[in-house]
């Protein structure tokens, strides 16, 4: 028979009590244990956390205790790798490496121990769990799911059990990750337009030997995650180093070294924007002056009241809706008038409108024969710019170009209104075999959301620049059960995509962080037809007996209220 032992039956993880003032720590005898690392709790450059303290294998431990102790030693490995080595035989120690993705499992797991046999000196132990995520070597966090198991080979030595075969990589629980890692936003520069910072979300492990500010900036000097490779760049020369970070009452002083051109004002502004947003948007040094030195000499200063246009979408508070084919602007009080030009006139056959950004926006719409564009001005008239009867709804890039996917010919198309020319864009080969329903460019001009079939959303990036731009880095974001339909998607901001799913039992609306898959459900009462969003504004249309009703999501994300009771369908914001 096989014995299955559950978490907590043999080896507990107990948090140490840190006694205020005395500095003493009460250590449980059976370990492992955690210690509150709160020395920097009052320092805005640091983040307090609990540090795992693992203990070596004990002579009296059984096979299960040894495996649980091994897993705890993996959680403490970054701070003290010597303990994990104690669990391994010399041969296993020579072969094992921590390199590779970190496997994250749910906290409760099973250790399957075979029945003992006389004179047996080795055995295979299986750890069974539900996998939660992978933390890749580029620090990206990828949620996953399903059953998971790993086999360990143990040998019985005079000093106790030791692991003789251990697969490469660390195995952590969700609690281990919550203790020692922090979700972190890093900011790089949009390669194609060079006018916008792009967020790259990672999981960074807190380091007991440095402040979190140091950890963040050291990672910022490295390339972005795989999802953004080729799509973003950095203002830091390759040889840049963080020499020191100091903080005072009202300022943070960062000393860099490397081949920084101190006379290049463009690089100075970009570097300042990368540092400012990577620190402040992770709640580090917020509200303080950031003084940047190069080799100890003053380079640039960023003040809390500095104007930051690096995350500007040039969208302002523009919001629109459609009534009987005519586009109207939305006011704070509700319905506004029709927009100027042909776009404000009622007509049949025009749908899936999209608005560009900037002071002189254009509006695009899909028809039965292609994509047409008109200016939002009295002289604006509809002009068909892309022909085709199997095109995805139009989407605008922040550079002013219009994009759509031609499903019949398997071609991604980019229309330049200035040159009045349409060019094909290279895409991954696998897209040729998929049914592309929606193609939506985020407001950062880099990330792209693609719905394939009725059930899958993928996230990609526009890499390169100019005529060399192409779609790459496609990764699965989410899918739904067979028989359900992804009805609509909308970028809320650079990080979050709204996904509206229609199922037999009803609808769900999820807000998904495209960087790490973190998902938040949005409550629904009515059946939505479409959704549009811009930062804290979320609009949707609901079909009623009296026509379309425009609904707005409350600031607390819990309730919907009517913005327009009748004749207010198909909301839209510029870009996204």
| DSSP, residue by residue, 212-229 | HHHHHHHHHTS---GGGT
Q: 495, 183 in Cβ contact below 8 A?
A: no
Task: Give the Å distances, CA to CA, from 380 to 247, 329, 556.
Answer: 55, 16, 39
Q: 414, 425 in Cβ contact below 8 A?
A: yes
In a domain, 561, yes or no: yes
pLDDT, averaged across the chain: 89
Q: 343, 376 in Cβ contact below 8 A?
A: yes
pLDDT in tens, 396-442: 999 999 999 999 999 999 999 999 999 999 999 888 788 999 999 99
CA atoms in the 13 A half-sphere facing the CB of 186? 29
Is the model's pLDDT at 500 over the cut of 90? yes
Residues 13 and 147 both lie in one domain: yes
Is the model's pLDDT at 148 over the cut of 50? yes
Least confident of 26-40, 104-118, 525-539: 26-40
Q: 125, 112 in Cβ contact below 8 A?
A: yes
- Chosen domain end from 247, 276, 302: 302
Is the model's pLDDT at 188 over the cut of 70? yes
Residues 163 and 193 both lie in one domain: no
Least confident of 54-58, 245-249, 535-539: 245-249
List Cβ neighbours of 361 (8 Å cut-off, separation of 6 or more).
Answer: 318, 355, 376, 574
CA atoms in the 13 A half-sphere facing the CB of 86? 20
Q: Can you tell me the mean pLDDT for 466-470?
A: 88
Alpha carbons 373 and 385: distance in angstroms, whole number: 7
pLDDT in tens, 382-405: 999 999 999 999 999 999 999 999
- Chosen domain end from 152, 179, 206: 179
Residues 187 and 174 both lie in one domain: no
Alpha carbons 140 and 123: distance in angstroms, whole number: 35
Q: Can you tell me the mean pLDDT for 283-289?
A: 89
In a domain, 315, yes or no: no
State the pairing for strand pair 17-18/362-366.
unpaired
In a domain, 309, yes or no: no
Q: What is the pLDDT of residue 14?
A: 34
Residues 86 and 204 both lie in one domain: no
Q: Taking the C-alpha atoms of 233, 239, 240 and 244 in order, what is their torsion angle to the nearest 10 degrees? A: 150
Task: Give the dihedral sign, CA 422/427/431/433.
Answer: positive
pLDDT in tens, 19-59: 223 222 223 334 465 555 554 455 668 777 677 789 999 99
State the pairing for strand pair 411-416/402-406.
antiparallel
CATH number of the domain residue 338 falls in: 2.120.10.30
In a domain, 187, yes or no: yes
Is the model's pLDDT at 343 over the cut of 70? yes
Alpha carbons 461 and 442: distance in angstroms, whole number: 10
Residues 10 and 51 both lie in one domain: yes
Task: Give the SS3 label for residue 448.
Answer: strand
Exposed e or buried b for every residue in 332-366, given b needs 16+ CB within 10 A? eeebeeebbbbbbeeeeebebbbbbbeeebbbbbb
Nearest to 438 by CA among 363, 491, 475: 491
Is the model's pLDDT at 126 over the cut of 50? yes
> Number of folded domains in the chain?
3
Residues 432 and 510 both lie in one domain: yes
In a domain, 17, yes or no: yes
364 φ/ψ sector (left φ>0, alpha ψ -120 to 50, else beta): beta
Range of the domain at 16: 3-179
Q: What is the pLDDT of residue 52?
A: 78
Residues 199 and 90 both lie in one domain: no
The Cβ of residue 237 has, within 10 Å, a number of other Cβ atoms equal to: 14
In the sheet with 49-53, reading across from the earlier edge strand, the strands are 14-15, 33-37, 49-53
Nearest to 235 by CA among 292, 183, 274, 181: 274
Alpha carbons 502 and 205: distance in angstroms, whole number: 38
Alpha carbons 357 and 409: distance in angstroms, whole number: 29
Residues 213 and 270 both lie in one domain: yes
Nearest to 74 by CA among 65, 89, 87, 64: 87
Q: What is the pLDDT of residue 16?
A: 31
Share of residues in the chain with pLDDT > 70 (%): 92
How many residues would you count in the chain? 576
CA atoms in the 13 A half-sphere facing the CB of 349? 9
Q: What is the pLDDT of residue 511?
A: 97
In a domain, 355, yes or no: yes
Nearest to 512 by CA among 481, 556, 476, 537: 476
Q: What is the pLDDT of residue 344?
A: 96
Residues 357 and 490 both lie in one domain: yes
List Cβ neighbours of 68 (8 Å cut-off, separation of 6 or more).
Answer: 10, 11, 111
Residues 174 and 68 both lie in one domain: yes
> Phi, psi at residue 268, to the nearest 5°?
-60, -45
Q: What is the pLDDT of residue 32?
A: 61
- Chosen domain end from 270, 302, 334: 302
Taking the model in full, what pTM does it have?
0.90
Q: Can you tell me the mean pLDDT for 524-531?
A: 94
Q: What is the pLDDT of residue 28?
A: 35
Residues 148 and 38 both lie in one domain: yes
The Cβ of residue 425 has, within 10 Å, a number of other Cβ atoms equal to: 18
Residues 285 and 324 both lie in one domain: no
Distance between start and end Cα atoms, the chain: 58
pLDDT in tens, 446-467: 999 999 999 999 999 999 988 8
Nearest to 414 by CA among 454, 444, 445: 445
Task: Describe the chain by its helix, strand, coil percentages, rounded to 5.
Answer: 10, 45, 45
């Amino acid at each position: 028979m096989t014995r299955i032992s559950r978490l907590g039956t043999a080896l507990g993880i107990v948090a140490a009590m840190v006694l205020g003032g005395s500095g003493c720590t009460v250590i449980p005898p059976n370990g492992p244990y955690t210690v509150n690392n709160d020395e920097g709790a009052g320092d805005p450059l640091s983040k307090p956390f609990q540090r795992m303290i693992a203990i070596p294998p004990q002579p009296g431990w059984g096979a299960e205790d040894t495996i649980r102790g091994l897993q705890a030693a993996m959680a403490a490995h970054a701070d003290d790798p010597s303990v994990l080595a104690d669990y391994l035989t010399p041969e296993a120690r020579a072969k094992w490496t921590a390199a590779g993705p970190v496997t994250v499992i749910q906290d409760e797991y099973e250790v399957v121990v075979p029945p003992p046999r006389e004179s047996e000196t080795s055995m295979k132990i299986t750890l069974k769990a539900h996998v939660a995520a992978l933390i890749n070597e580029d620090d990206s966090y990828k949620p996953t799911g399903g059953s998971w198991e790993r086999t360990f080979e143990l040998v019985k030595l005079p000093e106790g059990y030791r692991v003789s075969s251990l697969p490469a990589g660390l195995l952590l629980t969700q609690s281990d990750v919550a203790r020692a890692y922090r979700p972190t936003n890093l900011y790089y520069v949009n390669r194609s337009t060079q006018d916008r910072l792009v967020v790259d979300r990672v999981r960074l492990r807190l380091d007991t030997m440095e402040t979190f500010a140091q950890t963040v900036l050291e990672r910022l000097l490295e390339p972005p995650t795989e999802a953004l490779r080729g799509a973003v760049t950095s203002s830091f020369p390759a040889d840049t180093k963080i020499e020191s970070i100091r903080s005072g009452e009202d300022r943070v002083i960062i000393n860099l070294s490397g081949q920084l051109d101190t006379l290049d004002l463009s690089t100075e502004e970009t570097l300042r924007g990368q540092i400012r947003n990577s620190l402040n948007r992770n709640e580090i040094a917020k509200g303080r002056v950031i003084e940047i030195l190069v080799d100890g000499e003053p380079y640039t200063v960023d003040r809390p009241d500095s104007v930051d246009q690096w995350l500007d979408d040039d969208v302002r508070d523009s919001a629109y809706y459609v009534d009987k084919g005519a586009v109207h602007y939305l006011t704070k009080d509700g319905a506004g008038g029709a927009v100027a030009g042909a776009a404000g006139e009622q007509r049949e056959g025009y749908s899936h409108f999209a608005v560009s950004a900037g002071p002189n926006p254009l509006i695009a719409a899909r028809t039965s024969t292609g994509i047409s564009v008109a200016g939002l001005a009295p002289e604006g008239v509809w002009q068909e710019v892309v022909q085709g009867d199997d095109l995805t709804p139009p989407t605008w890039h922040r550079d002013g170009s219009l994009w759509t996917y031609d499903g019949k010919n398997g071609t991604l198309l980019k229309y330049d209104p200035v040159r009045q020319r349409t060019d094909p864009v290279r895409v991954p080969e696998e897209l040729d075999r998929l049914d592309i329903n929606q193609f939506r460019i985020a407001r950062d001009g880099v990330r792209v959301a693609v719905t394939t079939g009725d059930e899958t959303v993928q996230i990609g990036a526009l890499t390169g620049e100019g005529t060399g731009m192409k779609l790459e880095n496609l990764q699965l974001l989410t899918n739904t059960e067979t028989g359900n339909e992804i009805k609509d998607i909308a970028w809320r901001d650079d990080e979050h995509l709204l996904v509206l799913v229609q199922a037999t039992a009803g609808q769900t609306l999820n807000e998904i962080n495209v960087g790490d898959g973190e998902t938040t459900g949005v409550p629904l009462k009515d059946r939505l037809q479409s959704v549009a969003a811009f930062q804290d504004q979320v609009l949707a249309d609901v079909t009623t007996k009296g026509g379309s009703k425009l609904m707005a999501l409350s600031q607390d994300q819990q309730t919907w209220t009517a913005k327009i009771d009748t004749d207010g369908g198909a909301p839209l914001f510029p870009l996204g």
